[in-house]
Each structure stands twice: as C-alpha cells, then as structure tokens.
Structure 1
Amino acid sequence: MKLFTLTSVLFVITATPVMADTLVAARTIRSQTVLSSADFVIATGDTLGSLTQISDIQGLEARVTLYAGRPVRPGDVGPAAVINRNQVVPLVFNANGLVITTEGRALDRAAPGEYVRIMNLSSRTTVSGRAMPNGTVLIQY
C-alpha cells in the first residue's frame, strides 16, 4: 500500500507544470544595440526555448528588434559586431609564410569569427575572410 502511495505522489510531482523564469525585454530594443542588464527583467512564465539568465546576454548585441514584454530567444542575440558595413578594414592574406596586408571596404557587418565579404580597395575585387577580434579580416586560401 505504501508503494502505491509513493508512486502516486511521484507522479503528481512530475506531472505538475513547472514555472520557469523567462528573460523578457524591459523596453523595445532596436537591432544592433549592445545589451546590458538594465534592458531586461526576469518574468515568471513557461516559455520554451527562451533565455533565463540576465548574465547570458550582457555584452551581446540584439540581432533583431526586441519588443518590451516578449521573451528573448538565443537566436535574437549574438556577439557584438567589430566590423560595420562600409568600414575600411585591414586585410591580411596569410599563406605558406607569405603575409600581404592591404585595405578593404566591408560589404557586411561581422562579429569576431564570422565570415565577411570585403572589397579590396587596390584591385576592386571582392574577397571573403574571417573577422578577427581586433577588427582585421584574415584571408586564407
């Protein structure tokens, strides 16, 4: 009899919905805005796939417009861009010990580690490279 009661209690405990904390925007935040803890509040609610901690978003950038009171999902935020569109950036070509440095104009925005298209200002050709944390673009072949 006790085993049946214990099983019933475990079933009731696991069957009840769990209310989790959800990270929501405190105000409407435009895309490309660097985020801080003052931009968000924790709301009680059950939203699957949303962020739950304010520390998860500090220093990141909004990839889309975040509306006040709506949950924030991982795809809505990302690393802050170090390269902006139309910015003149150093291009570094590195292959087999040969290093060539020139300047190019960014055709897109990019965060560190992302690929970005760059127009070489000397030859006017378009190349792709990886954005580095210091704002340079590394071209490797």
Structure 2
Amino acid sequence: MLRCLVLALLASPSFAESVVATRTLRPNTVIGPEDLTVVDASLPGALTDPAAALGLETRVAIYAGRPILPANLGTPTLVQRNQLVTLIYLAGGLAISTDGRALARGSAGETVRVINIASRTTVSGRIGPDGAVYVGWGE
C-alpha cells in the first residue's frame, strides 16, 4: 500500500514555472517585460517570478528560450568606462567637486577608479545613485 502511494505521488504532474528569455539578450541589456515569458517547466536555478528580473541588466548573453538565472543578472550600469563623471570628495562638512574620467564601468554602490582630469591623479571612489563618484564617502 505504501509503495503505491509513493509511486502515485512521484507520477503526479509538476506545476512549476520558470522564466525564460523571449529573444536573445546581449550582455548589458536592461530587461523589460517584453524580454521575458513564463513556461510550465521546472528549469534548475531559473527564476520563477518575472518581476524579479525586470529592470536588471544581463551580465552575459542569454539566448531565446533559455532560463533566466539570478547569477546572470545585476543592477544596471550607471557609469561606463571612459565616461566623464562628477568626482566629489566628502569629508565632514567639506565637499569638493571636479571632473573625472571613469576607468571602469560600474553600478550604484560599486567602487571604480577615476582619473581626476585637472590633476591627472587616479583615485578610487564609490558610485552614487546619481551617477557621481564619491571619494571619502562612508569613511
């Protein structure tokens, strides 16, 4: 009797859903609702809620019909390599700003190296939500 019950439970259909790409998504693509669809299949590691991927950026190419994995997504890039950025130094009540050139790309909260255009000095700073790079922020 127990064996029949176990076999009946194992044979029951699975109603798991997975999120897959509707088209090929190149790296650094910000995901919109038209880029995703839900399929009735349990794909290992795939997202189950499309809302969890909306507004995020792909870190690798994701081909049409392939599952959307959380590891392949990240926050959208605010600063591109070689982009001119506002470089802001904060210390106590003092704030000094100047122009800089980003030496890497990054998202809000990430640390990037920036060259101060006026002094040609390279510094590291954290990207703020406004896209400016802050030196001395949180120190």
Structure 1: gaps of 5 or more residues: none
Q: Note the aligned Cα RMSD (angstroms).
A: 2.3
Q: Which SS does the other structure have where 2:24 is aligned?
A: coil
TM-score by length of structure 1 reads 0.84
- Residue 93 of structure 2 corresponds to 97
Alignment counterpart, residue 127 of structure 1, candidates 117, 123, 126: 123
1:125 deviates by 1.8
Percent identity for Structure 1 against Structure 2: 42
Query: CA separation in 2, counterparts of 1:130 and 1:14?
Result: 51
Aligned residue among 30, 33, 37 for 1:37 = 33
1:54-73 equivalence runs, <5 A: 54-73=50-69
Gaps of 5+ in 2: none
The aligned counterpart of 1:22 is 18
CA, structure 1 residues 99+13, in 2 after alignment: closer, same or farther (shift >3 Å)?
same
